């Protein structure tokens, strides 16, 4: 039961060999606000029980537990909350499953990313040391910590000027959310913490370290968030040009063995067995990311199967045989989703968030009342009403950039737009236009892949939004792709469980485990030729506006945000005579994490 000698499963997909037929695995999905454990049958992926544990400290975005105030755009977490999930949700999931924990042969985890923390040599988070409890930089920087923007800008500018070969692997720009931007911020704002930390660890790897006592980096976050390409990190010269103290950051703070997804990082320690109630010595898989780990749960790990985890935002992951440099993608990493294939990632910063915003802030009372009387949600009512329309009948086109644009423009200073409103425009019209705008955004991403020689042949949806059948048909019609949907309602946790089964040797690889344990309703939405044609006309309009507002012809969105920031700043300082202003915080930018709406 180690990663060195996997036991090959039979071609039927049932487990054989050293792994018993009735073996179980546990998958744990670490989200932004809670962790969820699920107990799964190795033989067929049946989910037997699950449990959730909310993080006691949730997200620290105003102050530390000690009361120390945080600057704007900070978002921290407390690592002990992650361990609490192991102590409570895992045993509770076993209990609800009503199974003997001795049957569990492996455990795997997935995490938000890039979520990083500074630790000492043995993995103790610096924030757990008495002397650092008041140091914000000693805590976990959550994926949506957005205070490293200036560092990311410097990294991108320099990389572009120097023509760094890794830059196109990230669509032309790395995000301020990622490891090097956060590390540079840490170095420059808290050099003493930077000096003291032995490692800057992805939470995805840190939790595995807690389980098996081994610090192993995983190929997924190391590639997507850690700028590790073709066997190395950014060069010493490059890093030195950013900041001389940063020159040896990878050697000093990152360097550890990197293992492929599906491999075992080690085995469960006695201590972690005590926390979880699982048998000591079972396989612990290497870490993973919530979006990427979902692909095998949706039986979508072959080349050309694009998986969209659609929730508040959308994350797209897809394998391909070939390496292409797709403008505006988040990244391409060899083995980033499954070993042996190139894993691609792209994303839309706002999707369900935009629908939720509209329902909350743009729908008049009658709709709320009618929905309540009928016992349905306002989303359901608007979907029903807008589903009666012919394509284009509302006369609207919208841009889905209320949270900025991740792919393919990589520009968080963009904003939303809607054109075509008349006095006859109703809430269901705008709602449908917003649904369609996100579908057009997805098609833009799909076309960027196609044009870069990375074919997309199927669209597979996971995440909460797949319940909206109108939305699904719109996506099939707009992309002109057959659309499949995941069956599991806890895709990431099931995906982790699949990785646990591979790490435990129950299957030879993720492909085989996915085939046996994953489940998707294949091609349940087929593009309707007449609709495809009707949407082609609207997509042409979307694209013209996309390029006009997004590619520099008219930078009005940038200028409006600049004016807004300047104005809000002056109002906050009381310089305006117009009276007090209610603070109007920027919404959280999108994440790899896709919470259902």
Residues 299, 301, 306: CA angle, nearest 5 degrees: 95
Binding a second copy (rule: CB under 8 A), the pick from 19, 485, 549, 591 is 549
Binding a second copy (rule: CB under 8 A), the pick from 67, 71, 244, 390 is 390
Q: Is 374 among the residues that bind a second copy (CB under 8 A)?
A: no
Q: Is 387 among the residues that bind a second copy (CB under 8 A)?
A: yes
Q: Is 310 among the residues that bind a second copy (CB under 8 A)?
A: no
Q: Is 256 among the residues that bind a second copy (CB under 8 A)?
A: no
d(CA 307, CA 484): 9
DSSP string, 319-374: EESS----TT-SEEEETSSSTTSEEEEEEES-SHHHHHHHHHHS--HHHHHHHHHH
DSSP string, 216-245: -EEHHHHHHTT--BTTBPSPHHHHHHH-GG
Stretch that binds a second copy, among 43-51, 242-250, 410-418, 516-524 (CB under 8 A): 410-418
Beta-carbon neighbour count of residue 508 at 10 Å?
14
Angle between the N-to-C axes of helices 427-451 and 352-361, in degrees from 0 to 180, rounded to the nearest 10:
160
List the structure tokens of 417: 């737009």
Binding a second copy (rule: CB under 8 A), the pick from 210, 403, 444, 514 is 403
Residue 150 or residue 421: which is nearer to a second copy going by CB?
A: 421
The residues in 423-462 that bind a second copy, with binding defined as CB under 8 A, are 423-427
Q: Is 231 among the residues that bind a second copy (CB under 8 A)?
A: no
Q: Is 476 among the residues that bind a second copy (CB under 8 A)?
A: no
Q: How far is the CB of 148 from a second copy (least distance, A)?
A: 21
ω before 408 within 30° of 0 (cis)?
Answer: yes
Closest CA to 587 of 313, 379, 321: 313
Beta strand pairing call for 264-267 and 283-285: antiparallel
To the nearest 10°, report the CA torsion of 108, 113, 115, 116. Answer: 80
Q: Is 373 among the residues that bind a second copy (CB under 8 A)?
A: no
Stretch that binds a second copy, among 137-145, 213-221, 391-399, 461-469 (CB under 8 A): 391-399
Binding a second copy (rule: CB under 8 A), the pick from 382, 417, 448, 462 is 417
Residue 138 or residue 354: which is nearer to a second copy going by CB?
A: 354
3-class state of residue 287 by DSSP: coil
Binding a second copy (rule: CB under 8 A), the pick from 63, 321, 560, 574 is 560
| CB-based contact 508:3 (threshold 8 Å) | no
Q: How far is the CB of 434 from a second copy (least distance, A)?
A: 10
List the structure tokens of 535: 């949407």
| CB-based contact 266:90 (threshold 8 Å) | no
Q: Is 376 among the residues that bind a second copy (CB under 8 A)?
A: no
Q: How far is the CB of 549 from a second copy (least distance, A)?
A: 7
Stretch that binds a second copy, among 180-188, 244-252, 256-264, 381-389 (CB under 8 A): 381-389
Residue-level length of the chain:
597
Q: Name the residues that contact a second copy, by CB under 8 A.
A: 350, 353-354, 357, 360-365, 368-369, 387-397, 402-403, 415-427, 537-538, 541, 544-545, 548-549, 554, 556-557, 559-561, 563-564, 566-568, 570-571, 576, 578-582, 584-587
């Amino acid at each position: 039961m180690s990663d060195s000698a996997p036991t090959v499963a039979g071609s039927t997909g049932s487990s054989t060999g050293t792994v018993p037929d009735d073996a179980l695995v546990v998958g744990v999905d670490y989200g932004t606000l809670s962790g969820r454990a699920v107990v799964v049958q190795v033989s067929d992926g049946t989910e037997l029980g699950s449990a959730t544990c909310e993080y006691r400290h949730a997200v620290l975005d105003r102050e530390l537990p000690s009361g120390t105030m945080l600057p704007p755009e900070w978002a921290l977490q407390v690592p002990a909350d992650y361990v609490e999930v192991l102590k409570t949700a895992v045993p509770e999931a076993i209990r609800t499953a009503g199974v003997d924990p001795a049957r569990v042969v492996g455990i795997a985890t997935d995490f938000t990313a890039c979520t990083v923390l500074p630790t000492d040599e043995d993995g103790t988070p610096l924030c757990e040391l008495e002397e650092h409890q008041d140091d914000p930089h000693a805590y976990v920087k959550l994926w949506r910590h957005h205070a490293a923007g200036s560092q990311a800008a410097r990294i991108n500018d320099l990389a572009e000027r120097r023509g760094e070969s890794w830059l196109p692997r990230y669509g032309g720009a790395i995000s301020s959310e990622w490891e090097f931007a956060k590390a540079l911020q840490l170095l420059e704002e808290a050099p003493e913490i930077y000096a003291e930390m032995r490692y800057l660890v992805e939470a995805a790897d840190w939790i595995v370290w807690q389980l098996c006592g081994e610090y192993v980096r995983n190929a997924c976050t190391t590639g997507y968030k850690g700028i590790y390409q073709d066997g190395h990190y950014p060069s010493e010269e490059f890093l030195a040009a950013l900041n001389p103290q940063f020159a040896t950051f990878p050697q000093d703070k990152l360097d550890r063995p990197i293992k492929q997804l599906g491999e075992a990082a080690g085995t469960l320690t006695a201590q972690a067995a005590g926390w979880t109630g699982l048998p000591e010595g079972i396989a612990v898989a290497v870490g993973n990311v919530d979006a990427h780990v979902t692909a095998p749960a949706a039986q979508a790990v072959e080349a050309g199967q694009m998986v969209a985890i659609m929730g508040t935002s959308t994350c797209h992951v897809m394998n391909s045989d070939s390496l292409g440099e797709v403008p505006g993608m988040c990244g391409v990493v060899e083995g980033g989703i499954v070993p042996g294939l190139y894993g691609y990632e792209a994303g839309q910063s706002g999707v369900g968030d935009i629908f939720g915003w509209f329902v909350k802030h743009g729908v008049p009372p009658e709709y709320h009342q009618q929905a309540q009387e009928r016992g349905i949600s306002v989303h359901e009512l608007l979907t029903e009403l807008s589903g009666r329309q012919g394509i284009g009948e509302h006369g609207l086109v919208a841009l889905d950039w209320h949270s900025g644009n991740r792919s393919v423009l990589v520009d968080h200073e963009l904003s939303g737009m809607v054109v075509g409103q008349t006095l006859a425009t109703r809430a269901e019209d705008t709602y449908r236009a917003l649904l369609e705008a996100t579908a057009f955004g997805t098609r833009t991403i799909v076309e960027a892949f196609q044009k870069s020689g990375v074919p997309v042949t199927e669209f597979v949806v996971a995440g909460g939004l797949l319940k909206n059948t109108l939305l699904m048909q719109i996506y099939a019609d707009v992309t002109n792709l057959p659309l499949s949907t995941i069956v599991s309602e806890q895709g990431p946790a099931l995906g982790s469980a699949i990785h646990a089964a591979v790490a435990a040797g129950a299957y030879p690889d993720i492909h085989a485990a996915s085939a046996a344990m994953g489940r998707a309703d294949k091609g349940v939405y087929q593009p309707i030729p007449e609709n495809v044609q009707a949407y082609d006309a609207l997509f042409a309009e979307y694209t013209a506006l996309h390029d006009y507002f997004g590619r520099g012809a008219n930078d009005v969105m940038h200028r409006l945000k600049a004016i807004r920031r300047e104005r809000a700043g002056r109002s906050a300082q009381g310089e305006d005579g117009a009276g007090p202003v209610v603070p109007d915080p920027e919404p959280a930018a999108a994440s790899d994490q896709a919470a259902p709406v």
